[in-house]
């Protein structure tokens, strides 16, 4: 389908390069619109490629046939854009019908990623429709070469993004790192252990995800952070998370979170922060100084004041 999209761009573009200069840019914009229409039909990871091929091939043939007609009819560019819009509506209707009858999609474990792909396609389609509308308006208003050149560059930039999206399978709206993280989360979103993976292997990988999340996102700084929040953030369930944390850290969930809060408070102390102990406690996610002191002594065998005095006697007196 990527080859079909390129043909839908190159063949009309070659034809339009032979027309008058005033119509050339508008013609190239038409070719870009046609090619992006075919790219918009590129199947997502969960879609049946046969539907995309069945619609995109006739669409590409139709769109490639329009430019030569400009020798016999006027407003061929407008006709191309209108044909592209109609074909997109037909494709959207077919895909919508397919989703309605495929109720099982609602229960797929990778439905989060599928929705991201779907939303990305809707955004790209909206951008394409907006550019097509601008192109039709410019044709009616008789825009000059400068405006046509700007529109051509905008359409080419969108074409490059859409072609890269079809080539890589990415959404092109999120960074690659964030997309990989979503897919890792989706792979761990299981209510039972994956086939071929033992309980120990699964719990180990789940705990590794917990550690990475705690280090990078620092959710423990929220005093109300709970096991429910972690289960929601990691797309897992409380039972597995609690078991993984208990087994691998030797702490219950509350002690595990407080360990990270204490660790954060030590970083604040060692940075020469002039805050008092109550301020450090609040900045580290604790509800009160009493809870902070108890958790601090449990993890360091010292009170916060004693720890501060060991670092700097002056800081210890100020606290």
Q: Please, what are the domains in the chain? A: 2-174 (no CATH), 188-250 (no CATH), 260-319 (1.10.10.60)
- Model pTM score: 0.54
Length of the chain: 319
Average pLDDT of the chain, as a whole number: 79
Lowest mean pLDDT among 55-59, 241-245, 299-303: 55-59
Average pLDDT over residues 88-97: 82
**Is 50 exceeded by the pLDDT of residue 196?**
no
Query: What is the percent of the chain where pLDDT is above 90?
Result: 13
What's the rounded Cα separation, in Å, for the pair 4 and 189? 37
pLDDT of residue 258: 93
For residue range 20-42, what is the model confidence (pLDDT) as tens digits? 665 677 778 888 888 888 888 88
48 φ/ψ sector (left φ>0, alpha ψ -120 to 50, else beta): beta
Average pLDDT over residues 247-260: 91
Torsion over CA: 16, 17, 19, 24 (sign): positive
């Amino acid at each position: 389908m990527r080859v079909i999209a390129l043909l839908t761009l190159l063949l009309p573009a070659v034809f339009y390069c032979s027309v008058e200069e005033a119509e050339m840019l508008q013609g190239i914009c038409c070719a870009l619109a046609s090619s992006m229409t075919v790219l918009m039909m590129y199947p997502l990871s969960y879609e049946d490629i046969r539907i995309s091929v069945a619609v995109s091939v006739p669409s590409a043939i139709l769109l490639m046939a329009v430019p030569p007609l400009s020798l016999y009819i006027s407003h061929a560019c407008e006709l191309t854009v209108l044909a592209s819009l109609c074909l997109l509506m037909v494709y959207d209707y077919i895909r919508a019908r397919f989703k309605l009858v495929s109720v099982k999609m609602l229960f797929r474990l990778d439905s989060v990623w599928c929705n991201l792909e779907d939303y990305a396609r809707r955004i790209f389609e909206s951008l394409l429709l907006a550019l097509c509308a601008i192109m039709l308006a410019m044709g009616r208003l008789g825009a000059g070469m400068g405006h046509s050149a700007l529109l051509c560059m905008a359409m080419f930039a969108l074409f490059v993004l859409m072609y890269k999206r079809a080539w890589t399978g990415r959404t092109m709206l999120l960074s690659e790192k964030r997309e990989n993280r979503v897919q890792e989360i989706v792979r761990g979103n299981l209510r039972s252990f994956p086939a071929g993976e033992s309980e120990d292997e699964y719990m180990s990988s789940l705990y590794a995800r917990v550690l990475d999340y705690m280090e990078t996102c620092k959710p423990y700084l929220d005093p109300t952070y709970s096991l429910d929040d972690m289960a929601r953030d990691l797309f897992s369930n409380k039972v597995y998370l609690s078991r993984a944390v208990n087994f691998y850290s030797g702490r219950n969930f509350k002690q595990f979170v407080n360990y990270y809060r204490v660790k954060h408070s030590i970083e604040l102390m060692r940075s020469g922060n002039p805050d008092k102990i109550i301020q450090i406690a609040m900045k580290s996610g604790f509800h009160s100084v009493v809870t902070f002191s108890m958790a601090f002594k449990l993890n360091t065998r010292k009170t916060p004041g004693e720890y501060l005095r060991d670092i700097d006697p002056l800081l210890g007196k100020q606290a």
